[in-house]
Structure 1
Amino acid sequence: MKRHALLAGIAALMLAACNQKAETELTLSGLNPAKFETTVNDAATHLYTLKNEAGMEVCITNFGGRIVSIMVPDKDGNMQDVVLGFDSIADYINVPSDFGASIGRYANRINQGKFVLDGDTIQLPQNNFGHCLHGGPKGWQYQVYNANLIDNTTLELTRISPDGDENFPGNVTAKVLFKLTDDNAIDIKYSATTDKKTIINMTNHSYFNLSGDPSKAATDHILYVNADNYTPVDSTFMTTGEIVTVKDTPMDFTTPKAVGQDITNFDFVQLKNGNGYDHNWVLNTQGDLNQVAAKLTSPTSGITLEVYTNEPGIQVYSGNFLDGTVTGKKGITYNQRASVCLETQHYPDSPNKPQWPSVILKPGQTYNSECIFKFSVEK
């Protein structure tokens, strides 16, 4: 009996050790899942890891529905982390950022945080040059989504946003479904329903540096945008309501070129207004998911990102406001233009621009948006 008890005790210790190891085992990107365990507004946060047969890894936290890391192979077969972010949930909570976030209710800007719906003027928070940006200072990027890890490649996040959330009308149930495919794509499907007429415009706000080394600027990345037109902005980054051609301007990426080729040409007023690129392009794809909306390539790593979407627009943001004050994963300082964001979306301030595609969601309708980030290598 003593021998059996001794063996049982040893087995229990070994099991406990294995469990402890499992809890502290690092992801391929070097993240410790234990550092993403906390509670925010009585909701538990975690880190979820998706892997495919090809060996690609995507780590996501349900705090803000954020993509924390994306590991993909470079031209030499070495795995590289190609997005900016933090090593712990504490930094995501304490350092204001949009790194990797699932943005809602309304991605991008609404003029003066104000819009009219059925004759009622709705005033939202004004958190960016007098405008409402990314749903306000308590937008969904700072809320905890309910998470359901469906399998090794699929994570479903749900956000129940109450009527009056940042003063947006309607009780909204929104879902973000991340699917990692075997051809190294992250297929993100957004959906939402409401019990009262409201507006919605969701996106993912990943900051890409495809070299795998965000200590260096991403201005050498080669960018293609399938768009003949864009929406200009004023000095407060607000769309003017115009749609103008990119032809013969620094905004023309219909022929691929380096992000940094024209980025400091502040004689062109739009680059001065945006402090670089921070604009919405009017896609030629017309909602066709089979057409490439944008393509970004690092000449250093050979890693290529193709973006597909059913959305009418894409915001290209060249990390202009990164200023070296934020330290991210692995202690790397994020300096200006360390990344490129490619945010699929309806156009900024669409609630105040009735001539543009509508962002209104009514009871009985379902909002659907899709964005595919597909990775490959150019050797």
Structure 2
Amino acid sequence: MKIEENYFGLVDDKTVFTYSMSNNNGIKAVLTNYGATLVNLYIPCKNKKIDVVLGYDNLENYMINPKFFGATIGPNCNRISKGEISLGNKQYNLEQNDNENNLHSGEKGFHNVIWDVSINEDENYVEFYHYNLDEEQGFPGNSKIKVKYKLTEKNELVISYEGLSDKDTIMNLTNHTYFNLSGHSNKDATNQELWLKSKYFTPVKDSKSIPTGEIKSVKDTPMDFTTTKKIKSQINEKYGQLEFCGGYDHNFIIDKEKEGIEKIAKLSDENTNITMEVYSDTPGVQFYTGNFISGGPVGKENIVYEDRCGVCLETQFFPNSINIKNFKSPILKAGDKYESMTIYKFVY
């Protein structure tokens, strides 16, 4: 399939492009090398195509992008308490950009990088490359990073990550797309139904959203998505965890049956009859209901996005896992290879 490259803008004399790839079933994904970002994802629906991801029509708004729409997040996604980590008997102090915490690696994170690009039309993928300098975001190590987006004839958007560092470091990459299977212009994503392969979650201490270290059962709580239900069904209950975060913004622990890729979530919309199945090899997934979307730049097609008009399923290591001993470690040893994969498969 032909992959179209189009001019998107200039940043410091560097050219930014969009890349459009389609499959034979009518799905189309549009990416940009600014932030290795997913800009559009069109799914056939009732004799038309609808864009099911939130985003912007211009590069300038992606350079602001306070909600990280569609971006690749790294070297570390989610939060690190007080921006403090210790590696190799050395203390590193990261940018505190969210309630005294480091969120999504700070302002110099991968979401604000202009990536190099390779296109493979025979296999229908776009691969982004970045060489990250030692302590560029505060993390140790010169790192080589790859993020590949592949669109298959099985209606899968496959996102593959690779990383290699010359020092022990943290490597915990994710994609921060906000989905609304009714279309990005729909005002309420909580009408969608969700199933999660997760019997446990990691509760947070307070509104700063740092986990306590406890592994807590979802049973008999609003956090239970082991049986499919509408997201809105319990989101406004008087439950401390939901009140801390203004809704769902929690790490759910995947009930791993094996190493490698497995189905971890399913999101469905009754208006469009579109279902998205999520497959991943990560130990956790951050389920976020877009509780604080409003107030950012105007979205695509001049849509003013409001709170809870998109939801995220961010596959990852647990938040602050570098500082909590009973969480699986996100440390990548020098010379070892980081590899991870997440698949979003669409049924319609």
Of the three residues 138, 152, 162, the one matched with 1:191 is: 162
CA distance in 2 between counterparts of 1:205 and 1:287 reads: 25
* 1:264 CA drift (Å): 1.1
Q: Which moved more, 1:214-223 or 1:342-351?
A: 214-223
Q: Secondary structure at the match of 1:308?
A: strand
TM-superposed CA distance for 1:78, in Å, is 2.4
Deviation at 1:304, TM superposition (A): 0.7
Matches within 5 A, 1:137-286: 137-151=107-121, 153-235=124-206, 236-265=208-237, 267-286=238-257
TM-score of the superposed pair, with normalisation by structure 1: 0.87
- Measured in 1, the distance between the counterparts of 2:48 and 2:261 equals 29
Which of these residues, 9, 21, 33, is aligned with residue 50 of structure 1?
A: 21
Sort the Cα spacing of 1:117 and 1:290 in 2 relative to 1 into closer, same or farther, 3 A: closer
SS state of the match for residue 159, structure 2?
strand
3-state secondary structure, aligned to 1:129? coil
Could you say what the CA RMSD is over the residues aligned between the two structures, in angstroms?
1.5
Deviations 1:203-244 (A, max 9, x none): 000000100143321010000000000000122111111110
Residues 289 and 308 in structure 1, CA contact (< 8 A), matched pair in contact too: no
- Amino acid in the other structure paired with 1:223: L
Letter in structure 2 aligned against 1:233: V
Q: Please name the residue that 1:291 is paired with.
A: 262
1:5 match? none
Pairing of 1:340-379 with structure 2 (within 5 A): 340-377=311-348
Contact 2:66 2:296 (C-alpha < 8 Å) held by counterparts = no
Query: C-alpha distance in 2, partners of 1:333/1:287?
Result: 42
| TM-score w.r.t. length of structure 2 | 0.95
Tell me the distance in 1 between the aligned counterparts of 2:108 and 2:68.
12
3-state SS in 1 of match to 2:339: strand
Number of aligned residue pairs: 343
**Aligned partners of 1:97, 1:58: CA distance in 2, in Å?**
20
Q: Which one has a larger percent helix, Structure 1 or Structure 2?
A: 1
Find the structure with the greater CA-based Rg: 1
Quote the residue 1:339 is aligned against.
310
Shift of 1:73: 1.4
Report 1:93-112 matches (<5 A): 93-112=63-82
Gaps of 5+ in 1: 1-26
Partners of 2:227 and 2:312 lie apart in 1 by 19
**8 Å contact from structure 2 (residues 193, 269) kept in 1:** yes
SS across alignment from 1:121 = strand
- TM-fit CA distance, 1:326: 3.3
- Structure 2, unaligned runs of 5 or more: none
Match of 1:90 in 2: 60
